[in-house]
Structure 1
Amino acid sequence: MEQGVLQLTLAWDGKEIVSTGIVSSRPMLAKALRGLPVARVSEIIPRVFSLCRHAQDAAARLCIQAARAERAALDDARDLGLAVAIEAIVEHLYHLLMAWPPLLQKPCRASRIEQFGAWRKRLLAVVDAAAAAALAVDLANWLAELEVPPFDDRLAVTAVALLPQLSAAEWAPLIDREDFAALPTFAGQAAETGVLARHAGDPGLAFLLADGQRIQARLAARLLELRWLAAGLADPSRLSALVDATAVAAGCGLARIETARGTLLHRIELAADCVEDYQIIAPTEWNFHPQGAFDSEMSGCPAQTRDDARIRAACLALSLDPCVPYELRIVDA
């Protein structure tokens, strides 16, 4: 199945970005699951999603268990939390070591590439709690010396609200319409999910936000979360907080997973052990909502040249971390 793209259009008047247009061509996989035997869901989901595969798999398994009123074992929750955490650590390291420096025109350093490759190999070799604990100390010590790339983005941007951290049970009554997966809102408004939403209470991040440095705050939040996750590897029971599920009604289950990109929700309705309805609410649909974080922070953004507009848009998009490729187009306003 094609993964689709985000088409991001900036209307530029020579001085600033006047408005944006956001169109997603990502196929709605959840609709294709309708009518299938429920056993097929756990087979299809991990094969289709190349990014956040463990998170997507965990969400599918947990929402099915909840719909069937099957109580998940504590060990299962810990294993799922550990897999989700390792996946998130790799994602965060990729961003800080590999994705951001070239965008900020930093020289390509072989040591940085080697560091990412070495940590990725060690992380993906973790198979249980004992192996995670053995790795945790080394990772925590290394992260203590890691710094985020500096990004000067002091702008008086209009920002959407940050998505609160809710449990699956708290989410259950909020997914109340057919198009929620495509255009999710909280309290009737677009909202931002991700590391900034999860860690906005940190004093250092609060300072950056008050200073108008929203992109820099997201970068700092990645490092903050990396250190939290590394500490969690030493005690995987803490990582179970990353995953939970609830029975919404008879034959209906909802799962919540905290991924590197933000909150992921899966909701399933069963009929005779077949999928009657399935919804996947991914972080990209929050952050690239037509009135979401990308739109609010780009609209009105100063840009003296098309290159200025393009670079700013690329940095903002990377900080919001879409799970599909994007195409950027600048048109005259």
Structure 2
Amino acid sequence: MNQGSLDLALTWDGSEIVVADVGSARPQVASVLLGLPAAALGDVVCRLFGICRQAQAAAAGLCVRAARGERLAAVALDELALPVAIETISEHLGHLLIAWPTLLADPRQPPRVAACGDWRRRLRAATDRQSAATVAAALVDWLDDADLPPLDEQPPAAATAPLLPRLTAAEWETVAAVENFALRPTLGGEAAETGALARQADDARIAGLLAAGRRLDARLLARLLELRWLAAALAEPPRLSSLLDACAVRVGAGLARVETARGSLLHRLELAGDDVAHYQIVAPTEWNFHPQGAFVREISGCPASSRRAAQLAGERLALSLDPCVAFSCRLIDA
């Protein structure tokens, strides 16, 4: 299924990007699921999504079980969380491999970045929990020894979005009940930034970068910190259960939360008998590329002395937020 795209329009006055607008051609995938038997959801969701497939399938499965009033034992949550964690590690590595050279002042690809592709292949070749844990342990050692070049200097953003706190599925239920929440999600009336930066914001190094206005660097470091945590946690599966949970909304309805590489993913389901009567998916991209979200706030007011500088600033910021679909930046003269 075509996952759509984002059109990022930047209005430039010759010295700065004065305003930005996000146009989304993302299809409402959840509508495809209406009327399906609940037992078929997992397979259909796996076919629909090319990115974060394991996370999407886990969220769908958790929704169904919550709607049926089933309580998952800790070991069952561990089993669901393991492929999500492996997928998240792979997504983080893929992002570093593709986006990092573009974010660097020196466009030449550092050897350490190129190695991310090798680690992805090794992880995908792991056939069981033990082999995945073995690869992950070696990955932790590599990350600890990595000499990672800093990003180019960036001017502090004039405005930023608040960071999304990690809420449980039960806490999300009251928030997600708002009409059109899946299209334009907010928390406390504000669009927030989700992803590794939000999850790692308590780290002292991240806090220092945020205080200095170095948000691109902070997002990169947050991914690296999360990579280390996930890789180490593969050897201790119970630690991974924090990546997901679910709750019964009422009889026949459930909500699930899964933490993905790009941020918090929510699925909300209502059943009529054993068929899907209502389905809602809130992807991280809907948060970070909300019309008043992280991308729009951060790029608005960004200094840019040339068209090329404005274009690059938009592309760098979009890459650092890692949308789950293709995007294009276009300039509009003020």
Instruction: Mark the CA change 1:187 to 1:109 in structure 2 (over 3 Å): closer, same or farther.
Output: closer
Contact map agreement 1:255 1:267 (CA 8 A) in 2: yes
The residue type paired with residue 167 of structure 1 is: T
The residue type paired with residue 185 of structure 1 is: T
What is the CA–CA distance in structure 1 between the aligned matches of 2:257 and 2:219, rounded to whole Å? Answer: 22
Question: In the alignment, does 2:219 pair up with 1:231?
Answer: no
Match of 1:57 in 2: 57
What is the CA–CA distance in structure 2 between the aligned matches of 1:155 and 1:241, rounded to whole Å? Answer: 33
Match of 1:299 in 2: 300
User: Does the residue aligned with 2:54 lie in a helix, a strand or coil?
Assistant: helix
The residue type paired with residue 247 of structure 1 is: A
Question: In the alignment, does 2:210 pair up with 1:217?
Answer: no
Contact map agreement 2:68 2:252 (CA 8 A) in 1: yes
Question: Per-residue deviation at 1:93?
Answer: 1.4
Equivalences for residues 60-79 of structure 1 within 5 A? 60-79=60-79
The residue type paired with residue 195 of structure 1 is: A
Question: Per-residue deviation at 1:128?
Answer: 3.3
Contact map agreement 1:149 1:219 (CA 8 A) in 2: no
What is the CA–CA distance in structure 2 between the aligned matches of 1:178 and 1:130, rounded to whole Å? Answer: 44
Instruction: Mark the CA change 1:110 to 1:162 in structure 2 (over 3 Å): closer, same or farther.
Output: closer
What is the CA–CA distance in structure 2 between the aligned matches of 1:17 and 1:117, rounded to whole Å? Answer: 34
Contact map agreement 2:252 2:270 (CA 8 A) in 1: yes
Question: Per-residue deviation at 1:237?
Answer: 1.1
Question: In the alignment, does 2:36 pair up with 1:32?
Answer: no
Contact map agreement 1:193 1:262 (CA 8 A) in 2: yes
Question: In the alignment, does 2:33 pair up with 1:21?
Answer: no
Instruction: Mark the CA change 1:65 to 1:148 in structure 2 (over 3 Å): closer, same or farther.
Output: farther
Match of 1:124 in 2: 124
What is the CA–CA distance in structure 2 between the aligned matches of 1:103 and 1:215, rounded to whole Å? Answer: 8
Runs of 4+ in 1 over 4 A off after TM superposition: 109-112
Match of 1:247 in 2: 248
Contact map agreement 1:101 1:149 (CA 8 A) in 2: no
The residue type paired with residue 51 of structure 1 is: I
Gaps of 5+ in 1: none
Gaps of 5+ in 2: none
Question: In the alignment, does 2:172 pair up with 1:171?
Answer: yes
Match of 2:183 in 1: 182
Query: Normalized against structure 2, the TM-score is what?
Result: 0.95
The residue type paired with residue 267 of structure 2 is: H
Instruction: Mark the CA change 1:54 to 1:184 in structure 2 (over 3 Å): closer, same or farther.
Output: same
User: Does the residue aligned with 2:56 lie in a helix, a strand or coil?
Assistant: helix
Match of 2:5 in 1: 5
The residue type paired with residue 134 of structure 1 is: T
Instruction: Mark the CA change 1:20 to 1:111 in structure 2 (over 3 Å): closer, same or farther.
Output: closer
CA shift digits 1:138-160 (9 cap, x unpaired): 11111102244422223142011
What is the CA–CA distance in structure 2 between the aligned matches of 1:121 and 1:170, rounded to whole Å? Answer: 37
What is the CA–CA distance in structure 2 between the aligned matches of 1:62 and 1:78, rounded to whole Å? Answer: 13
Question: Considering only aligned residues, what root-mean-square deviation do their CA atoms show, in Å?
Answer: 1.5
The residue type paired with residue 41 of structure 2 is: V
User: Does the residue aligned with 1:161 lie in a helix, a strand or coil?
Assistant: coil
Instruction: Mark the CA change 1:147 to 1:166 in structure 2 (over 3 Å): closer, same or farther.
Output: farther
Match of 1:45 in 2: 45
User: Does the residue aligned with 2:234 lie in a helix, a strand or coil?
Assistant: helix
Contact map agreement 1:148 1:219 (CA 8 A) in 2: no
What is the CA–CA distance in structure 2 between the aligned matches of 1:210 and 1:294, rounded to whole Å? Answer: 18
Match of 1:136 in 2: 136
What is the CA–CA distance in structure 2 between the aligned matches of 1:295 and 1:280, rounded to whole Å? Answer: 22
Contact map agreement 1:54 1:84 (CA 8 A) in 2: yes
User: Does the residue aligned with 2:266 lie in a helix, a strand or coil?
Assistant: strand
CA shift digits 1:30-62 (9 cap, x unpaired): 122122222222121111110101111111111
CA shift digits 1:210-266 (9 cap, x unpaired): 001011100110111111111101111101110111111111111100000000000
Contact map agreement 2:246 2:256 (CA 8 A) in 1: yes
CA shift digits 1:13-40 (9 cap, x unpaired): 1011111110111100112212222222
Contact map agreement 1:157 1:212 (CA 8 A) in 2: no
Moved more, 85-94 or 195-204: 85-94
Question: Per-residue deviation at 1:121?
Answer: 2.0
What is the CA–CA distance in structure 2 between the aligned matches of 1:80 and 1:207, rounded to whole Å? Answer: 35
What is the CA–CA distance in structure 2 between the aligned matches of 1:163 and 1:110, rounded to whole Å? Answer: 33
Match of 2:199 in 1: 198
What is the CA–CA distance in structure 2 between the aligned matches of 1:147 and 1:255, rounded to whole Å? Answer: 38
Match of 1:158 in 2: 159
